[in-house]
Amino acid sequence: MKIFYSETHRKHNPPFELFDGGLRAPYLENPDRMDRILNALRETDWAEIHEPSDFGLDPVLAAHDKEYVDFLASCWTEWLDSKPKDPSLFLPATFALRHHPQKPKSLLGRGGYYIMDLSACIVEGTYEAALASANCALSAAEFIIQSSASPSSSSFTNHPSSFALCRPPGHHAGKDYAGGYCFINNAAVAAQWLSSKGNVAVLDIDYHCGNGTQDIFYERNDVLTISLHADPDFEYPSYFGFANERGRDKGFGFHHNFPLPKGTDDGSYLATLDRALELIREYKPMHLVVSAGMDIYADDPLGTIKVSTEGIGEIGRRIASLKLPSVIVMEGGYNNEALGRNITTFLSAFV
């Protein structure tokens, strides 16, 4: 399997984040996550790790608002120019209610307009790392297109797969906002790029709702989006991910949320997954993008879903049974000790 990975992710390494109640804690979405996964991949006999290509900004701007991307690009320089008391990271203290939004001119005002929460911390290398992460997803998408078309790729005719080892993750980033450790929506950028080749399905199995992906494609019928996640009644992102959110206008019926209760185990999760996979089969997409969050694991520090490593492997097998050309995009997963084992167990189903 082709794995697309960039060392540039290390430039995004905030010194802390703020949890509920204002607790300052070490940044959970840290470079060690990638090291654990890389170590596990290198122990397999099927992982081929490659640098991503540079696709430029056009594919990113096809999924994201240009002024938002401009903000990400200039934020750090503007922050340092403002001579802040604590220059270690940028994080606003006031956040916009988007019911009647007006965008202010001040940096902190724009920060609160474009950032959803206290975990999307910006440091000097954040923008560069986010672009490299998106290029990993685009390179993985390009690979499955080239492999599907190549006569020499008969070993996986019609359903090649690839893995974008993305950091920062992306599925909480909407058209014009960052949140949940995410700045550019890697899976959505890849799905948008693939949509020019035919209909695409995006399946999000991260513990948290893929609110950003939902936002980007909510009025579209050429990209089916499905998210299985902890119920937003008790879990982040709180304001997205309810079952009655089905899409809007021509996109109505092309988005599906499956909120799950605390303690969901292997059997219950797989039963819900089967419903989601049936929707994908009915849609008959040409390509599949999987937002692969491993925070569904039973011992994840941010999760309440209780899926085992064996269950994660079965999730992979059932998704692979769709026999679709598939781009698998790394999202969450914060039990670093188990992260490499869980992702290689999942990916092995596609090999």
SS percent in the chain: helix, strand, coil, step 5:
40, 15, 45
Catalytic residues: 172
In angstroms, the CA 76 to CA 9 distance is 16
Q: Closest Cα to residue 165, out of 347, 14, 287, 351?
A: 347
Closest to 166 (Cα-Cα) out of 127, 133, 199: 133
Nearest residue to 336 (alpha-carbon basis) of 34, 129, 3: 34
Q: Strand, coil or helix: what is 335? A: coil
**Virtual torsion, Cα 118, 120, 122, 127, nearest 10 deg:** -170
Per DSSP bridges, beta strands 24-25 and 17-18 are antiparallel
Query: What are 115's strand-pairing partners?
Result: 178
* Dihedral sign, Cα of residue 139, residue 31, residue 217, residue 281: positive
* Residue from 198, 88, 93, 187 nearest 140 by CA: 187
For the chain, give the number of residues: 351
Residue 136 is encoded by which pair of tokens? Answer: 């990993």
Q: What is the DSSP string of 213-267?
A: HHHHHTT-SSEEEEEEEE-TTTSTTSSS--TT----GGGTTSEEEEEE-TT-BHH
3-state secondary structure of 207: coil
User: Is the backbone of residue 198 left (phi > 0), alpha (psi -120 to 50) or beta?
Assistant: left
In 138-196, the DSSP E strands lie at: 161-164
Strands 24-25 and 255-260, bridge-based pairing: unpaired
